[in-house]
């Protein structure tokens, strides 16, 4: 009897653990033009994820992000920009407004996503995964401001972060994009 109870408790624990585990490739989001975007299509690619805003002191980083995309974007490296209005309401526009701003002002060609929340009770599942060790199996991390950068390796593993003020053309980010280093931690 004790052995059966132990096995049932063990199985229950495994089920609970699996229910809390989300694989990076099981995530989904909407593109800025409203299309479904499955992260399964990112399998085998290094992914840089950035929460962006058009009325922030760091907004000029769009220029460097686009340059990074032009120089290193490929089948092995992709960037996703997630507009968010979580910090001093610095991204108040609609997806249409944001896309127009990014295109006209910075000629952004990397993948822009629909506006989401990157913190608090309405945090998007992508950012839940990026910020929660129980999901990403790497580290807990809080989004501190606009233009926070997160790195996910080609196997769907959380591979680090860079604080908002970090220039997207920082040598460690370039090395990571090129596959020369495995993790990035820029505080």
Cα four-point dihedral sign 138, 175, 57, 109 = negative
Q: Say which residue the tokens 């199985």 belong to.
A: 11
b/e code 85-107 from CB counts within 10 Å (16+ = b):
bbbeebbebebeebbebbeeebe
Query: What phi, psi does 111 have (nearest 5°)?
Result: -70, 115
Residue 56 annotated as catalytic: yes
Please identify which of the residues 22, 30, 55, 56 carries the catalytic annotation: 56
Residues 6+ apart with CB under 8 A from 74: none
Dist CA 129 CA 125 (whole Å) = 6
Q: Supply 141's token pair.
A: 């991390």
Which are the catalytic amino acids?
Answer: 56
């Amino acid at each position: 009897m004790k052995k059966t109870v132990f096995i049932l408790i063990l199985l229950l624990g495994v089920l609970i653990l699996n229910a809390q585990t989300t694989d990076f490739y099981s995530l989904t989001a909407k593109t800025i033009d409203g299309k479904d975007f499955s992260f399964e299509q990112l399998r085998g690619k290094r992914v840089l994820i950035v929460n962006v805003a058009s009325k922030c002191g760091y907004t000029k980083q769009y220029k460097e992000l686009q340059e990074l995309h032009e120089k290193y974007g490929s089948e092995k490296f992709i960037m996703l920009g997630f507009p968010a209005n979580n910090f001093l309401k610095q991204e108040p526009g609609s997806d249409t407004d944001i896309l127009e701003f990014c295109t006209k002002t910075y000629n952004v060609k990397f993948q822009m996503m629909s506006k989401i929340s990157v913190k608090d009770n309405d945090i998007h599942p992508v950012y839940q995964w990026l910020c929660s060790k129980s999901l990403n199996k790497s580290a807990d991390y809080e989004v501190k401001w606009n233009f926070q950068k997160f790195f996910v390796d080609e196997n769907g593993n959380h591979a680090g972060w860079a604080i908002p003020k970090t220039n997207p053309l920082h040598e460690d980010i370039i090395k990571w994009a090129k596959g020369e280093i495995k993790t990035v931690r820029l505080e």
